[in-house]
């Protein structure tokens, strides 16, 4: 691995730590707004990405996949935000809002990267690293939105499926037993990866359009 590859790998890992951290912050912030005291009590209502970092899922496993290239698709996760949903009258809507807040934060990051890229006036010849970092941020966060909305536990899409009545709790619990294995296999199936890439490109396109518009 040469210096350029090492630099690109480090940038990708930094982006992942930031993006996963702010994804989890989105869950914690919305839970706090909906009156759930648990995330604040556990110190999760913070923009510090390391408060939301899982040593294995956010750092170790992605680093292995980025730097050693074992042939598996990149997969990672943050430290889950624990919620209590204390109000039974609003529990269903609280859970939906809290669940959607994570992917919504990734969309906010896409917007931020696009605005910085468009207004920054970066020179492609002398500031290529910055441009690649910002473009990578858009693609990574679009990917996190798409990936997290897959309806397989422990991803956000599975909680939405339960709350929207697409899954029963029994089905959710049954899938949860094998969720990680299912995801690890799925992300390495060619047709699944092609579908994911198409969805990510579709979601990322408007943000690159905003970049071009502002530039």
CA distance 125 to 197: 28
CA distance 92 to 88: 8
CA distance 128 to 134: 10
CA distance 45 to 39: 6
Annotated active-site residue in 24, 128, 170, 194 = 24
DSSP the chain: --HHHHHHHHHHHHHHHHHHHHHHHHHHHHHHHTT--HHHHTT-SSS-GGGG--IIIIIIHHHIIIII--SPPP----PPPP-----TTTHHHHHHHHHHHHHHHHHHHHHHHHHHHHHH---TTT-HHHHHHHHHHHHHHHHHHHHHTSSSTTSHHHHHHHHTTSS-HHHHHHHHHHHHHHHHHHTTSHHHHHHHHHHHHHHHHHHHHHHHHH-
Active-site residue flag, 170: no
Active site residues: 24
């Amino acid at each position: 691995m040469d210096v350029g590859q090492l630099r690109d790998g480090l940038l990708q890992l930094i982006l992942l730590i930031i993006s996963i951290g702010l994804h989890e912050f989105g869950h914690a912030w919305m839970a706090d707004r909906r009156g759930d005291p648990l995330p604040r009590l556990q110190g999760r209502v913070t923009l510090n990405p390391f408060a939301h970092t899982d040593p294995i899922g956010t750092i170790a496993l992605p680093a292995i996949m980025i730097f050693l290239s074992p042939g598996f698709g990149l997969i990672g996760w943050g430290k889950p935000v624990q919620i209590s949903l204390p109000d039974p009258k609003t529990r269903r809507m609280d859970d939906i809002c809290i669940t959607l807040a994570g992917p919504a934060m990734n969309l906010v990051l896409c917007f931020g990267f696009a605005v910085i890229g468009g207004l920054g006036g970066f020179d492609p010849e002398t500031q290529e690293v910055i441009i690649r970092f910002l473009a990578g941020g858009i693609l990574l966060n679009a990917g996190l939105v798409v990936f997290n909305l897959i309806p397989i536990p422990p991803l956000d899409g599975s909680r939405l499926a339960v709350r929207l009545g697409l899954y029963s709790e029994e089905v959710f619990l049954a899938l949860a037993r094998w969720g990680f294995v299912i995801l690890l296999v799925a992300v390495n199936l060619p047709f699944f990866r092609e579908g994911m890439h198409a969805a990510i490109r579709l979601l990322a396109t408007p943000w690159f359009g905003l970049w071009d518009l502002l530039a």
